[in-house]
A and B are shown apart, each in its own frame.
Chain A
Amino acid sequence: MRRDRTLKQEIRHAFWAGRPGRQEEFLRQMPGDGFAEQRYRRAGSARIRFYFQQLGYIRGRVWGCAAALFAAVILFVWLLPCAGAPFFGANAENGMLQAGRWEAVRNTGDALLCCFSALLPLLAVLLVAEGNRSFRYGMKEIEMCARHSLTEVYLARMLFLGCGNLLWIGAADVLIRWTGSAAVDFVLVYLLVPYLLSLSLSLGACRRSPRNATGGCTAAGCAVSVGYLLLRDAFDIYAERYLAYWAVACIGLTAWIVRQHKDMKKIWEGQVCS
C-alpha cells in the first residue's frame, strides 16, 4: 500500500504536467451552457459559407437587368445594319454592302463600343444600389452588430456583383475586338472610364445620403451616359492624342473609388454617423 503511494508520487513527479497556461481563456471557450456552447460550435463555421450565402441574397432582378442591358446592345447592333444607322459611321453601312447580316455585324465594332460605353454607367448604378441596400431599407444597425458585420456583408455583395460586372465588361471587350473597332487597342480603358466615373459618382451619392441614394445614383448614371454620347458626338474622343487623358482618368477614378470606400468604411464601423 505504502509502496503504491510512493510509486504514484514518483510517477506524478516524473510526469508533472506543469502549471496551466491560458486556463481562463480555455474555460471560456468550453461548451457548457447557452450561448457559450453555440459560440463554440459556430467558431468553426467557414467564412466561405457566409460569402456564398450572401450570393443567394443578391436579387435576381440585378442579374436580370445586367443581362438585359447586354442583350439590348447585341440586339441593337444586330438590327443596326438593316436601319443603315448613319449615327454609327461608315463601318455599319459598309457592312450592309457585304453578303449578309452576319458579315455586316462583324463591321460594327465602333457601334458596339458606343452602345456598351453608354450602358455601362447604368451597370455601375445597379452595383452601387444593390450594395447600398442595408442603408436604404434600414437594416444597417442589425447588420453592423452581427458576427459578420456590415463591412463583410457589403464586401460579399461587391465581390459577386463586381465579378459579374467584370464578366460583362470582359464579354463586351471580346465582342468589340471581334467586330473590329477602330479603337481596338484600348477598348478596355474606353469601357472602364464611363463605368468608373458612374461608380464613383454613385458612391459619392451614397456617402452623402446613404438612405436616399437611389435617386442620386440613377441621376449620376444617366448623366454619365448622356454626357458620354454628347462628347462622342462632338469630338473624336478615341483619337490617339486623347489616350493619355483616358489613362489618367482611369487611374484617377480608381484612386477616388478606393478613397470613397475608406470613408464609407468609417460609417459601416460606427466611427462616423450616417
Chain B
Amino acid sequence: MQLILDRVSKQYKNKIAVDRVSLELGPGVYGLLGANGAGKTTLMRMICGVLRPDGGEITFDGLDVSEEAYRDALGYLPQDFGYYPEFTAMDFLLYIAAIKGIPKREAKRRAWELFEVVGLEKQAGKKVRTFSGGMRQRLGIAQALINDPGLIVLDEPTAGLDPKERVRFRNMIERLGKRRIVLLSTHIVSDVEHVADRILLMKDGRFLHKAQSEQELLDEARAKGAVPEDAALEDLYLYYFRDREGGSEEE
C-alpha cells in the first residue's frame, strides 16, 4: 500500500499554493502541520481528486487519482462539509454509502458500527441540522470510514470536538493507521503530537521537513539552537511558522 505524489503543483492566479511536492507514503499516520495558507488543504484536495493538479501525478497502489478504483479506496473528511437538510444521521451515512457503491444491507451494518465508534448511536435517527458542531464532525469522520478505505484523508478532523472526543478520535486514528495510510491535516499541534507516526511540516506550498518523527525534528531544531532543550512540538511549530503567524524573530 503506497501513496505517491510526484512533483505535484497547484497555482491560483499568481499564488503558488503547492509547489512541486513529492512524497511516498506507506501505511501509518501522517500529520500534516502548517500555518493557515501553507497549502495543506489544497494538497489534501488534490490527493482526494477534488482539485486537479496543474502539474505532477498522484497515485495510490498504482491507481491514478482520477480513477474510480482510487476513489473507491479513499475516505475523505473535508474541512467544511454540508448535508442535505432533510437527512437524519442514518440517512446521511446511507446516502454516502450509496454513492460509494456499498449495498444497502452492508451499508446499514457499517453505519451502526460507525455510530458506535463515534458515539452517535443514540442520535442516528435525529436530523443532522439539529446536531452540534462536534456531533457533525463525528458524523463526518464516520462517513469517511464507511467504505473501509485504504487511504484516509482528514482535513482538520478534531475541529469542534471536546477533549473526551479528541482522545477517542486519536485512539481510533492510531488503530486505523496500523494497516492504512492516514493523512491528517491540522494546525493543532497536540493532535499531531499524540497520533502521528511521522510529521510533515508545510510552509508556502512546500515541505520544510517530511516523514520525520517528532523526536528527529526536535533533535534537529535543538542542534540548531532554535528551541530550548525541554522544547515540545509546539515550540518547534512557533519556530518554523513565526513569520506567517505575525511573530518576530525574538519570539
Contact = CB atoms under 8 A, between A and B. Distances in A.
Given A50-B101, A147-B71, A270-B51, A141 B45 contact: yes
Interface stretch (B142-150, B185-193, B222-230, B235-243): B142-150
A145 B76 contact: yes
A144 B68 contact: no
Given A50-B99, A142-B81, A147-B68, A273 B149 contact: no
Interface in A22-59: 28, 33-36, 38-39, 42, 45, 49-50, 53-54, 57, 59
Contact of B73 (A35, A139, A142, A143): A35
Given A35-B180, A137-B85, A142 B78 contact: yes
A53 B180 contact: no
A14 interface: no
B180 A34 contact: yes
A15 to B, nearest CB: 32
B contact residues, range:
35 or more
Contacts of B95: 57
A39 B98 contact: no
A38 B148 contact: yes
B50 A145 contact: yes
Given A147-B71, A153-B99, A142 B143 contact: yes
Contacts of B80: 138
B49 A270 contact: yes
Given A33-B179, A147-B68, A142 B85 contact: no
B101 A273 contact: no
B148 A146 contact: no
Interface in A113-168: 133, 137-139, 141-149, 152-153
B50 A270 contact: yes
Contacts of A271: 52
A247 B73 CA distance: 48
B69 interface: yes
B150 A34 contact: yes
Contact of A35 (B48, B49, B148): B148
Nearest to B53: A270
Contacts of A152: 99
Given A59-B86, A270-B51, A273-B51, A147 B99 contact: yes
Interface string B77-106: 010111111100000000110111111100
A147 B81 contact: no
B98 A50 contact: yes
A137 B82 contact: yes
A137 B84 contact: yes
Given A35-B150, A39-B72, A269-B52, A146 B99 contact: yes
A141 B83 contact: no
Describe B's contact surface by its main secondary structure.
loop
Interface in A151-202: 152-153
B219 interface: no
B81 A141 contact: yes
Nearest to A266: B52
A144 B100 CA distance: 11
B48 A145 contact: yes
A135 B150 CA distance: 27
B85 to A, nearest CB: 7
Contacts of B48: 141, 144-145
A59 B52 CA distance: 31
B111 to A, nearest CB: 14
Contacts of A54: 98
A35, A50, A142, A269: residue with the most chain B Cβ atoms closer than 10 Å:
A142
A34 B147 CA distance: 10
Nearest to B101: A147
Given A269-B66, A273-B12, 16 more contacts: A34-B148, A34-B179, A35-B148, A42-B102, A138-B83, A139-B82, A141-B48, A142-B96, A144-B48, A145-B76, A147-B68, A147-B100, A148-B98, A148-B99, A149-B71, A152-B99
27 contacts: A28-B61, A34-B148, A34-B180, A35-B73, A35-B148, A35-B149, A35-B180, A38-B148, A45-B101, A138-B80, A138-B82, A138-B83, A139-B82, A141-B76, A144-B48, A145-B49, A145-B74, A146-B100, A147-B68, A147-B71, A147-B100, A148-B101, A149-B68, A152-B99, A270-B50, A270-B52, A273-B51
